[in-house]
Structure 1
Amino acid sequence: MSTKTTASAPCCSLLWVRLLPFLRWWPRVTRETLKADLIAGLTNAVVVLPQGVAFALIAGLPPEYGLYTAIVTPIVAGLFGSSWHLISGPTTAISIVVFSTVSGFAEPGTPQYVQMALTLTLLAGAYQLAFGLARLGTLVNFVSHSVVVGFTAGAAILIATSQLKHVLGVPVPRGETFLHTWWVLLRQLPDTNLYVLAIAMVTLAIALLIRRWRPRLPGMLIAMVFGTLLGIGLNGPDHGVQLVGELPAHLPPLSLPDLSWATVRDLAPKALAVALLGLIEAVSIGRAIATRSQQRIDGNQEFIGQGLSNVVGSFFSAYAGSGSFTRSGLNYTAGAQTPLSAVFAALALALILLLVAPLTAYLPIAAMGGIILLVAWNLIDFHHLRSIIRTSRREATVMAVTFLATLFLDLEFAIYAGVMLSLVLYLRRTSRPAIVSLAPDPKHPARQMVNISRTQAKECPQLKIARIDGSLFFGAVDHVATTLQGICESPPKQNNLLLVANGINFIDTAGAETLAAEAKRLRELGGALYISGAKAAVREVLVRGGQIETIGVKKMFSSKADAIRAIVPKLDAGRCATCAQRIFQECPAAAATTANG
């Protein structure tokens, strides 16, 4: 009886940890960590106040919804995710996708628009939660970072473009294309409201100066205060300066997404793009910070945390959120020790909202426009842009396609296009494993094998040595078969092939059949296929499929040296006697044997 109880205890404990993942890090909580988390949380609350308002405006929602998202989302994501430092909430990229998606169905800022945004959030969260429960967290590894860099750069330009009407004080029709919007803005430059422009530029300049000289201060918040004071001093409303209006001084209210079939049908495909972007952002940011904090991120648990935060948030007036790089980086820098810092940040923001909400009645939209321009500029990752362009033509292509699609096509399609292109290029690389021709280095005492394309090493006229660097699976068999046949038939024509298989980590039935077919082809030409260094898993596939009988058990060797010692005596002795290459250590012995005969 006691044995049974003892055996079941770990199982019960594991089940509780899966259901309540915060139990994993709860033992780390001490008085010292609580103090560090509280300080980090208070710092984050001050930073997210202007960001939350700005992001909500980008998403086409009333400004308080950005703060609601910054209150609800981080609590759920922090408790049910896996990262110690990731803080979730509204982000620029997802905000602009929400605007692009929902604005096609309803007028921004209207009750219908808000309800559809909440429905989009619920659907995106359901996708993310399903991915996590299905243990698909590793899928985000197949999405190239170039997709995120290209998308965020394009989104930054779209964000800046959408705010220029608030910075210049000119009307711009809603829902127009990127190029048409710029054309309208250029035509209306002479009608710029100088009062609006002055407030926006002063706010932007102060934010830049604080970031340059006092980066630890909440620069955006201070800049918005100066912009508000300037608007009051200029008597802005009398000169066409629009104000944000007073925020409701209460906690996130309960809400109900629109679950009608028509709305779900229209938003479900687009919600998948929001879900994918949110997961890519969250896991990428979490892993980037985890490399510094020496923590291991569980991708599946992070999917579950993000999904739950959006599902729960949709019923508490929060729109789609994800990991925030700015707030997460600040959280780590401020000394946070556990996800309780995210909880403290949310609670502190709720308290601030209750106290300062009435003051937003004097905040000019132009000041917010200046801040959002700075947010858009910060969104462009110039370092990685330059790095990708310099290092990889393929990744640069993925980035460029995603960037252009973001500017000129639907944002959700841009994400799909970038992801699909990165997967296509990945599959193309894996389906074309490198096949290198080798030969002994005459300058090396042990005749080490070297790539003949990079050295002056000479090949044996009768024996071709080639190495496959990559997996031999169904997608790669055509390339491998064609290449092997081509290198064997190129001068000097060689009918014996030693295949160095050390680099083959995986082989399937199609790959095994390809090797068997190559062995048959060479045998018909009077030669043979030899394999050296095959891993145990590769040999096992050949044995189970029966291909090893076609190749020949005696033609499988553990090393290149063993293979050459066995192969050279089997070569045409007459050709060996007259051969001038003598590249193998066994060659003189073979020649002497021929001479004595």
Structure 2
Amino acid sequence: MSLTRLLPILGWARRYDRDDLRPDLAAGLTIGAMLVPQGMAYALLAGLPPEVGLYASIVPVLVYALFGTSRQLAVGPVAIVSLLTASALSPLFEQGSAGYISAAALLALMVGAVHLVLGFGRLGFVVNFLSHSVLVGFTAAAAIIIGFSQVKHLFGITTERKDHFYETVEEVVRQIDGTNGTTLVLGVASIALLVLMKKFVPRVPGALVLVIASILAVELFDLTDRGVKTVGEIPSSLPAFGLPDFDTGTMGSLIGTAFVITLVGFMESIAVAKVYARRHRYDVDANQELIGLGASNVASGLFGGYPVTGGFSRTAVNDTAGARTPLASIVTAILILLTVLFLTPLFSSLPNAALGAIIIVAVINLIDIGEMRHIAHVKRSDLIGLSVAFVATLVLGIELGILVAVVASMLVVFARMSKPHSAVLGQIPGTTSYRNVERFPEASVTDGVRVVRIDAALSFVNAQHVKKLLLGEADAISGGDVTALVVDCSGINDIDATGVEALSEILVELDERQVDIHLCDVKGPVRDVLRRSGLWDRLDGRIHATAAMAVDAVTHPGTLPESLRSLGIDERHDERPADTVDTEVSHA
């Protein structure tokens, strides 16, 4: 791997266009203003002190600008990763304690390590195990859990942490009598302000406006005396380099969460990165993105942060504000660094209700009803994975929910593979094309010949189903002077040992029925397996280039073609003895 490929900044920095400086500065300042309150809010969601969210928004953002390939992706704390962090750490340590903070940094290092292993191993395809529909269902359920976890801040009540969503709902209902009226009014007003600003002045960072307004309200009206809880004193120190405690027991407890955060975080990040890469006509490298996000998480763990990834909303704002290169992220990190150095005393009066409102409004858009309808319209069976992900996450919790969703998604795939699509083909009049007779009723079927297409790899998953299907089609053949089954293999891109065994059994059973089997349009990888298994020789003379040639060979039996290679049937040079080769090509 070249140094420029490992560090993309060496490429774009040398070619930097000075005309991009102003929009990059504007975007960097905008995201910085947005990330300061969001970083603190998401740290609160993760059970961490507010400054940890700011620390996770400085060095990791700078590191991604060095290693990442997306020009618009805004890296930092996000809601789902924050919730996953809290879910993993809360059973192990008291929220906000030194052990909890150290474990959050350790988790960031572990997440970074998983990213780096996948990236350097070119294993980015692993994230494909989480399908789009499953991710939509999981994200919607996580958004509900996240939003409801902030209800206590809106009502000003204290609740015990519960492992399951329904238990959290029960706990809030039990404590609702202790609602602080002033806090509730402040929380509802905060949500209203954010929603209205997003609708009428979307370019203005509503979260920053809310932070300033709520701090002023607390100070001017002495709201702390009325029971309104604030974040309290925030240290004005820079994030210090240091290694967390590498406790083997803690690491063992967090390894599963590290993989889940990697899977979910990278899916969210790469999805939004690709959207803006297409929009601006450049490419993002999935494996390099793994390396960039891995380095960012390692940096976060070494500098007092917690796991980070690319976020949907901030990236959208970053692009809207004009970001053209990763310089915008560098500007963002510098702004947050200056905030930590000089402005943190101003945040001591920031009410928790305002931060809770920021989180609630941010996650509302994660419940994408429109996308759910689109999935249902495009492929209704994908609703199975979506629904399982949604229900399992709400009932079982974040980590078990995503695991069940992935397994369900894979089972749906196996179910589709076990009963692949097939079609009986007929000839389109006046052509040599064979098409599905159900879709093209005008297609004609030759008496005594059945042409069947299988649209899946022939493997252990579907071998018995395909065998039953083909034998059934052979039994349905009627009329004609000859009886033959032609299998169009254009949809079969692979065949395993079980598939070979099933095909061998089909040959034997069709011979007993006195039905000839012919294959056509056999792909190279399948031809290789058939040769090694001996089936190619058993089918000598019954393998053809197209369905039309196969039917013609059945209805007009004649000599073998002069060259299988010339017809695209066999890439090898013809090695048959000269006395078996006739110079007369078949009627095909």
TM-score normalized by the length of structure 2:
0.89
Separation of aligned partners in 2, 1:406 and 1:484: 42
Letter in 2 for 1:476: N
- Which of 447, 457, 463 does residue 477 from structure 1 map onto? 463
- Contact in 2 for aligned 1:78/1:87 (Cα 8 Å): no
1:392 pairs with 2:385: no
Separation of aligned partners in 2, 1:314 and 1:513: 53
- Contact in 2 for aligned 1:202/1:227 (Cα 8 Å): no
2:237 partner SS:
coil
Task: Report the Cα offset of residue 232 of structure 1.
Answer: 2.9
**Consecutive aligned runs of 4 or more in structure 1 exceeding 6 Å deviation:** none
Aligned partner of 2:166 in structure 1 is 179
Higher mean C-alpha displacement, 253-262 vs 151-160: 253-262
Aligned partner of 2:48 in structure 1 is 61
Task: Report the Cα offset of residue 453 of structure 1.
Answer: 3.0
Separation of aligned partners in 2, 1:201 and 1:491: 72
- Contact in 1 for aligned 2:107/2:307 (Cα 8 Å): yes
Any gaps of 5 or more consecutive residues in structure 2?
559-588
- Contact in 2 for aligned 1:227/1:364 (Cα 8 Å): yes
1:465 partner SS:
strand
Aligned partner of 1:536 in structure 2 is 524
- Which of 514, 517, 523 does residue 526 from structure 1 map onto? 514
Letter in 1 for 2:279: R
Aligned partner of 1:578 in structure 2 is none
Task: Report the Cα offset of residue 364 of structure 1.
Answer: 1.2
Aligned partner of 1:154 in structure 2 is 141
Partner deviation per Cα, 1:455-477 (whole Å, 9 max, x = no partner): 54564442111012222234332
Letter in 2 for 1:355: F
Aligned partner of 1:449 in structure 2 is 434
Separation of aligned partners in 1, 2:127 and 2:165: 29
- Contact in 2 for aligned 1:200/1:227 (Cα 8 Å): no
1:438 partner SS:
strand
Aligned length: 555
Aligned partner of 2:328 in structure 1 is 341
Letter in 2 for 1:533: D
- Which of 280, 302, 306 does residue 289 from structure 2 map onto? 302
- Which of 197, 216, 221 does residue 210 from structure 1 map onto? 197
- Which of 226, 237, 241 does residue 239 from structure 1 map onto? 226
Partner deviation per Cα, 1:304-348 (whole Å, 9 max, x = no partner): 111111112101011001111112222222222222221221112
Aligned partner of 1:415 in structure 2 is 402
- Contact in 2 for aligned 1:21/1:79 (Cα 8 Å): yes
1:28 pairs with 2:15: yes
Task: Report the Cα offset of residue 397 of structure 1.
Answer: 1.6
Letter in 2 for 1:430: M
- Contact in 1 for aligned 2:51/2:234 (Cα 8 Å): yes
Aligned partner of 1:546 in structure 2 is 534
Separation of aligned partners in 2, 1:472 and 1:23: 47
Separation of aligned partners in 2, 1:557 and 1:447: 14
**Structure with more helix by fraction:** 1
* RMSD of equivalent CA atoms: 2.2
Aligned partner of 1:5 in structure 2 is none
After TM superposition, the structure 1 = structure 2 runs for residues 313-392 of structure 1, keeping only pairs within 5 Å, are 313-392=300-379
1:129 pairs with 2:116: yes
- Which of 528, 539, 542 does residue 555 from structure 1 map onto? 542
- Contact in 1 for aligned 2:164/2:397 (Cα 8 Å): no
Task: Report the Cα offset of residue 76 of structure 1.
Answer: 1.4
- Contact in 2 for aligned 1:203/1:224 (Cα 8 Å): no
Separation of aligned partners in 2, 1:16 and 1:180: 51
- Which of 168, 178, 193 does residue 155 from structure 2 map onto? 168
Letter in 2 for 1:561: A
Separation of aligned partners in 2, 1:106 and 1:41: 36
Letter in 1 for 2:488: V
1:254 pairs with 2:245: no
Separation of aligned partners in 1, 2:393 and 2:519: 49
Partner deviation per Cα, 1:548-571 (whole Å, 9 max, x = no partner): 11112x111112222222211359
Partner deviation per Cα, 1:193-219 (whole Å, 9 max, x = no partner): 110011111111111111111000011
Aligned partner of 1:279 in structure 2 is 266
Task: Report the Cα offset of residue 18 of structure 1.
Answer: 4.2
Separation of aligned partners in 1, 2:325 and 2:73: 10
C-alpha spacing 1:565/1:119, structure 2 compared with 1 (3 Å): same
Letter in 1 for 2:370: H
Partner deviation per Cα, 1:414-471 (whole Å, 9 max, x = no partner): 1222122212222332343311111234xx3337433233454564442111012222
Separation of aligned partners in 1, 2:546 and 2:240: 70
The alignment-based identity, stated in percent, is 36
- Contact in 1 for aligned 2:487/2:520 (Cα 8 Å): yes
Aligned partner of 1:41 in structure 2 is 28
TM-score normalized by the length of structure 1:
0.88
Letter in 2 for 1:212: K
Higher mean C-alpha displacement, 95-104 vs 350-359: 350-359
